[in-house]
Chains A and B, each alone.
Chain A
Amino acid sequence: MAEYTAKKLAQMLVTVLGVVTLVFFTLRLIPGDAASAMAGDTLSGEALQVLREQMGLDEPLLTQYLGFLRNLAVVDLGETITTRIPIAELLLRALPITLSIALATIVVSVALSIPLGTLAAYMAHKGRNWLDNGLTGAAMIIDLMPSFWTALVLLLVFSLGLGWFPASGQLNWSDPWALVLRLALPVIVLSLSQVATLARITRTAVLEVLNEDYVRTARSLGWSELRVLFRHALKNAALPIATVVGLSFGNLLGGTVIVEFIFTIPGVGNLLIAGINSRDYQLVQTLIVLYALLFVVINFATDLIYKTLDPRVQF
């Protein structure tokens, strides 16, 4: 296990270095340079040169690159160029919000999709396919719905129409119930597509296991259906489910940008959009690296969980 972890860790570090390098050099491909793109027509001559120096763009490319690596390594994220606020400070406020939404989505979608998928598999196994067919059809449609559209429809019905959830407003961390109501719709929107994927994977994995010999053996021992289902079938189906939860985390991060934008939640996604709109490349490059890091770390964790669940896994 230690050897496996070390090898995966090394792979992860190589990927992270690649990610950082790619982001750095892509931003240097901006026509002109980041300073003139940022200033537009507002600055010229000397003022532009000052901005360039502030952004460190007058130094040789290699020096800039090494400086960027060094700063990331010691978590010195610098300041936003336009407003001169330390980026670390912005992240300290935004990141917990985005992570809470992502985490809540994972909890809700796992809690819903595992029973749903298991039930569908069980009924299909017994030859009653209606839940299975319904689930597969619904999952496909939900998967293909653009999430910004789903979000607007839910907002229209449940916030503006029925008034169950607030559509905007401050996030109030001291009032948990208000917070739950405020974040409910974003989490529901994100959970919908997660449940669509996860329930389908659970159904396939469980159905496969239900046909195994050891499940028949367990039944022949006279154990209850529920015990067979949860102790034997679901336990062995856990592997593919865990993998898909990890893999779909990337989609989930993309989804948080959209729901934060629609429900005006001050998370990392809104920070990113604001950064792009004000052409603050310092902020944008930090955030894109951060998203990739989150995704890479989750994939690393998934690999380790997978290995723990199934020790047979090789590199």
Chain B
Amino acid sequence: MADITLTATPVPKAGLLAAIAAVFRHRALSSAKVRLALLILVPILALTILAPVLPIQKPLETNLRAMMQFPSIEHVFGTDKMGRDIFSRTLAGVQVSLLVGFSVAAIALVLGMLLGTLAGFYGGLIDRAIMTVVDIFLAFPSLLLAIGLVSVMGTGIVPVILAISLADVPRFIRLQRSQVLSLRSRAFIDAARTVDASQYWLMTRHIVPNTIAAMLVAASIAAANAILVEASLSFLGLGIMPPQPSLGNIVRDGQTYLEQAWWISTLPGVVILLIAVGLHFLSDGVRELLDPRSR
């Protein structure tokens, strides 16, 4: 995903790599928040990747002799009305969640940086055109914008990713624009101008690299948010449709059996919460590492 980010923006590689290097230079693991985030996210990620080789039932496999079973060693999260293993379905759902989260973050990051830089750097008509559209998008409550967009684009992973990204991009544009505006008037830009730096050089070498840190933090928050929105859409029956498992539609499936089999709905929800908390700590920790003032 990171490669797409690099090739599709006018961002020199150095910018992104420098930001990541900065995180490690400040010894990322010395931050309690980053450690906590990794403590939560790494096991979830490992289980998700290892899911196909783990000794558990396949996510779509039914077993009519083990219907609605209480969590046990064999079925860690229990089973549903068709005897499907909830743990295995949850891991498959996490895969979808992570795909949606990272795709949305990448799309919002790329489009937001591109359009926000254009608006902030050139100003004038381009700025006014972009910001008018941004303001219109921001007039919609974001979950409702996503609901409206999937109602037009249909259900499934790709429409869900596009709908959530479209609802997120305006916020990224606005953030990037405000960063570019404040950087544009700084002394080092004037200094570069005095040595005849071209507009393109100013933008790609001096302005954009300085905006990356804040955008990466925003992107990781957007990823967590996208995972929650995808789950909400799928829960409402407007996102990812069964039998393809997603954390939202597993919870939806279990809603009918809340009284007889509470584990179907509640346990996958805990996993959503854990991922969101992990990403939140990660972005918080990275922000503190990148911003010397907050340390």
Contact = CB atoms under 8 A, between A and B. Distances in A.
Q: Do A and B bind each other?
A: yes
Interface of A: 15-16, 18-19, 21-23, 26-27, 29-30, 140-141, 144-149, 152-153, 155-156, 160, 249-251, 253-255, 257-258, 261-262, 272-273, 275-277, 284, 288, 291-292, 295-296
B255 A262 contact: yes
A287 to B, nearest CB: 9
- Secondary structure class of chain A's binding surface, majority of residues: helix
Given A18-B132, A144-B280, A276-B147, A295 B232 contact: no
B76 interface: no
Given A148-B231, A152-B258, 11 more contacts: A15-B135, A144-B280, A145-B276, A156-B266, A249-B141, A251-B141, A254-B142, A257-B144, A257-B236, A258-B235, A275-B151
A73 B266 CA distance: 46
A295 B152 contact: no
Contact of B262 (A19, A23, A156, A257): A156
Given A156-B262, A160-B259, A146 B269 contact: yes
B136 A18 contact: yes
Given A23-B148, A146-B231, A160-B258, A276 B136 contact: no
A18 B259 contact: no
Contacts of B238: 273, 276
B143 interface: yes
Given A152-B265, A152-B269, A273 B136 contact: no
B147 A258 contact: no
For this complex, into which size category does the number of interface residues on chain B fall? 35 or more
B128 to A, nearest CB: 12
B215 interface: no
20 contacts: A18-B133, A18-B136, A18-B139, A21-B136, A140-B277, A141-B273, A144-B277, A146-B231, A148-B236, A152-B269, A156-B266, A160-B259, A251-B142, A253-B143, A254-B141, A262-B255, A272-B147, A273-B237, A284-B151, A292-B140
Interface of B: 132-133, 135-137, 139-144, 147-149, 151-152, 224, 228, 231-232, 235-238, 248, 251, 255, 258-259, 262, 265-266, 269, 272-273, 276-277, 280
Nearest to A296: B139
